[in-house]
């Protein structure tokens, strides 16, 4: 979690309400500028994506399967090369510095960490051991690491209860908590969180988002949150971007996105104020405005 100095910094750049875009631009912790990503030298997946996250805010990256959400997060955390992917155009700045210049490890040390889709834990290690692996980039000593372990347990009481359990045998929700907790052990300024809701029961999803909201409010951690669960993401984010087919087709304040007719119809499954049936949504009549 950020040092107190960072928290103050964050306070100064608190999520803006009135003059949103200008303030966000001024105090961006992350700025992605018109990036293209190509896999295997030929498959163009991101076709000019731009987005910003201001210090201390939660921003949602929304979109259906294959829209390019995970690719965007991996471009930021510099993990694309492991999948034969490459940023071929544009730039990404984290905390004022070009991401390209840093290895994933260095980025973690500077405060940017990704929690991958699919709640990856080391299955044969205990929950506590998993959490401790998250501190491997730190140089501030055992005592500080132990203090942060306690802090993670404060935020995730379930993990405290299961601290000695083998991670491979805990529930899916607990594994997701373990993955987020491990990221927290690196004392991040920003977490790139990929689909925390995936495959989890609604009650657990609520619980996890509630903790994410708390971490943001109390510890000042910024989040870029990739989600298919549009309703939950917009409930906690200040701002959101909708990705389709490797392009941002819509962006805006979370409130205005959740009131947008197209978002309601295509991402929230609600039309004309009522929930649509699967049949209706499958054969929708209205054309998305951004395709018009
Ligand atoms: N390693 C890869 N090699 C080639 N193509 C890839 C690779 N990874 C992803 N893609 C393709 O890039 C596109 C975007 O994938 P990505 O995983 O970023 O989408 P997503 O929005 O995260 O989807 P989901 O919601 O299903 O996780 C998809 O068409 C996918 O098939
Ligand atoms: Mg994904």
Cβ atoms within 10 Å, residue 35: 22
Cβ atoms within 10 Å, residue 17: 9
pLDDT band at 111 (very low <50, low <70, confident <90, very high): very high
Mean pLDDT on 107-130: 94
Mean pLDDT of the chain: 88
Cβ atoms within 10 Å, residue 265: 19
pTM > 0.85: yes or no: yes
Mind giving me the DSSP string for 204-264?
Answer: HHHHHHHHHHHHHHHH--EEEEEES-HHHHHHH-SEEEEEETTEEEEEEEHHHHHH-HHHH
- Does domain 4-11+22-111+188-259 sit in CATH 3.40.190.10? no
Please report which ligand is nearest the Cα atom of 246. Answer: 1
Q: Is 73 near ligand 1, meaning CB less than 6 Å away? A: no
Measuring from atom 5 of ligand 1, which residue has the nearest CA? Answer: 39
- Going from N- to C-terminal start, the domains of the chain cover 4-11+22-111+188-259, 120-178
Q: Is 39 near ligand 1, meaning CB less than 6 Å away? A: yes
* 255-277 residue pLDDT tens: 999 998 888 888 887 766 666 55
* 178-206 residue pLDDT tens: 999 999 999 999 999 999 999 899 999 99
Q: Is 66 near ligand 1, meaning CB less than 6 Å away? A: yes
């Amino acid at each position: 979690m950020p040092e107190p100095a960072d928290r103050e910094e964050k306070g100064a750049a608190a999520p803006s309400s009135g003059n949103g875009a200008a303030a966000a631009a001024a105090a961006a912790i992350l700025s992605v500028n018109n990036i293209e990503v190509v896999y295997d030298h030929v498959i163009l997946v991101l076709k000019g994506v731009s987005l910003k996250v201001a210090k201390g805010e939660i921003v949602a990256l929304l979109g259906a399967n294959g829209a390019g959400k995970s690719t965007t997060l991996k471009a930021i955390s510099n993990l694309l090369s492991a999948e034969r992917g490459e940023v071929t155009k544009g730039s990404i700045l984290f905390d004022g510095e070009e991401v390209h210049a840093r290895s994933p490890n260095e980025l973690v040390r500077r405060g940017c960490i990704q929690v991958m889709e699919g709640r990856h834990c080391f299955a044969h290690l205990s929950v506590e051991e998993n959490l401790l692996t998250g501190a491997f980039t730190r140089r501030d000593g055992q005592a500080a690491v132990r203090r942060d372990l306690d802090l993670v347990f404060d935020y995730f009481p379930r993990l405290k209860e299961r601290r000695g359990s083998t991670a491979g045998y805990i529930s899916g929700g607990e594994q997701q908590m373990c993955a987020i907790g491990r990221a927290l052990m690196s004392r991040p300024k920003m977490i790139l969180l990929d689909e925390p809701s995936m495959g989890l029961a609604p009650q657990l999803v609520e619980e996890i988002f509630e903790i994410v909201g708390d971490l943001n409010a109390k510890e000042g951690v910024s989040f870029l949150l990739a989600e298919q669960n549009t309703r939950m993401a917009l409930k906690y984010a200040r701002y959101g971007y909708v990705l389709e087919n490797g392009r941002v087709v819509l962006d805006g304040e979370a409130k205005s996105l959740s009131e947008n007719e197209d978002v309601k119809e295509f991402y929230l499954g609600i039309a004309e104020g009522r929930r649509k049936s699967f049949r209706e949504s499958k054969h929708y009549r209205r054309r998305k405005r951004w395709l018009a």
